[in-house]
Amino acid sequence: MTLTQWINDTYSQIRSDGVKGALEAGYEFYLGGLRRLRLLQGNGVNIYDRSWDLLIILDTCRVDLLEEVSDEYEFLEDISTIDSVGSSSPEWMKNTFHTDHMNSIRQTHHITGNVHSQEYLEHLPFAELDQAWRDGWDDERGTVDARTVTDRVVDICRRNKTSRVIAHYMQPHYPYMRNPELDTKNPVDKKPILWDQLRRGDVEKSKVWDAYAENLRYVLDDVEILLENVDADRVVITADHGEAFGEWGVYEHPGQMPVPVLRKVPWCTTSATDNHTYRPEIKREKETPSVEAKLRDLGYL
């Protein structure tokens, strides 16, 4: 955003929202300054520069959050970290799946619940790209359920024994599946306002953090099912980026941020053995609603 654009947007926000608009404009200006610091950072670690057979991506999962619940799951024993190539999903996708790794991409089966795949992944020659959000969207909750991704990953792993597989779960990303009371939306544009409420102090940080942790447990319960129903010697549990709860004055996960809690992500190694304790149910519905509406449900746009 140029200075002229910011001034024009600020003027419009103040006219429409008064003091609130001025505060929002100031926050955006601050984020713009932080993005300039991003140039001083390294590029991060590309997932294709590491060894894995099955890569499980937990969208927005912070390292400290995974460590907080690690004693509840036997497969979370070896948690290290890497620097992500992005602080948001679009940035991560753009910097991960590019021409330097085209041969690896051709050998990868990718199942994703992340709507940004439409813009950044559709044109790439994956062995298979299953955009679960297209025909597996939960209209009521405004996201892709963990089980939808689990079912498709189990199915693909049982059909393809030699290819690399990426399983991109949307959780612990908002909305919080076990805390629907926090799923508040602006009555005008229907956009979630939880992070605005947290930034203004209208909701307690501890309450949001606990819901965030429950959303991680929600998806890890499914990861446990997955690890018992696929064969993979080298499994890695990681994240595309983290989530900010006020560190450096930042909330959620804006792109191109140098904030450590957004850039440093888990790299947890384990393995998987198919004990055939679960039979996947592949449900494919007609795609609804629009891509824009789905992004809005997730807090974008």
Kindly indicate the confidence band of residue 297, based on its pLDDT and cuts at 50, 70 and 90: confident
Of the candidates 269, 298, 277, which has an alpha carbon nearest to the alpha carbon of residue 195? 298
Using an 8 Å Cβ cutoff, are 244 and 250 in contact? yes
**Average pLDDT of span 107-133:** 96
Tokens 């949307």 label which residue? Answer: 170
- Amino acid 205 reads K
**Average pLDDT of span 109-137:** 96
Helix (H, G, I), strand (E, B) or coil at 107: coil
Helix (H, G, I), strand (E, B) or coil at 270: strand
- Amino acid 202 reads D
Q: Look at residue 82 and tell me whether its pLDDT is greater than 90.
A: yes
Mean confidence (pLDDT) of the chain: 89
- pLDDT per residue as tens digits for the range 18-46: 445 455 656 776 777 677 765 556 689 99
Q: What six digits make up the tokens of 243?
A: 């989530």
Q: Which residues pair with 129 in a beta bridge?
A: 110
Task: Measure Cα distances from 195 to 113, 180, 298 in Å.
Answer: 21, 15, 11
- Which DSSP category does 285 fall into? P
Tokens 């937990």 label which residue? Answer: 58
pLDDT of residue 11: 41
Using an 8 Å Cβ cutoff, are 92 and 85 in contact? yes
State the Cα–Cα distance between residues 275 and 269, nearest whole angstrom: 19
Q: Which residues pair with 143 in a beta bridge?
A: 138
- Reported as type and span, the H/E element at residue 267 is strand 264-272
Q: Look at residue 70 and tell me whether its pLDDT is greater than 90.
A: yes
Of the candidates 94, 92, 163, which has an alpha carbon nearest to the alpha carbon of residue 127? 163
Chain centroid to CA 243 = 9
- pLDDT per residue as tens digits for the range 192-251: 999 999 999 999 999 999 999 999 999 999 999 999 999 999 999 999 999 999 999 999
pLDDT of residue 23: 57
Using an 8 Å Cβ cutoff, are 218 and 146 in contact? yes
pLDDT of residue 286: 72
- Reported as type and span, the H/E element at residue 78 is strand 78-83
pLDDT of residue 10: 44
Q: What six digits make up the tokens of 101?
A: 């790794």
Count of CB atoms situated within 10 Å of the CB of 166: 22
State the Cα–Cα distance between residues 53 and 246, nearest whole angstrom: 35
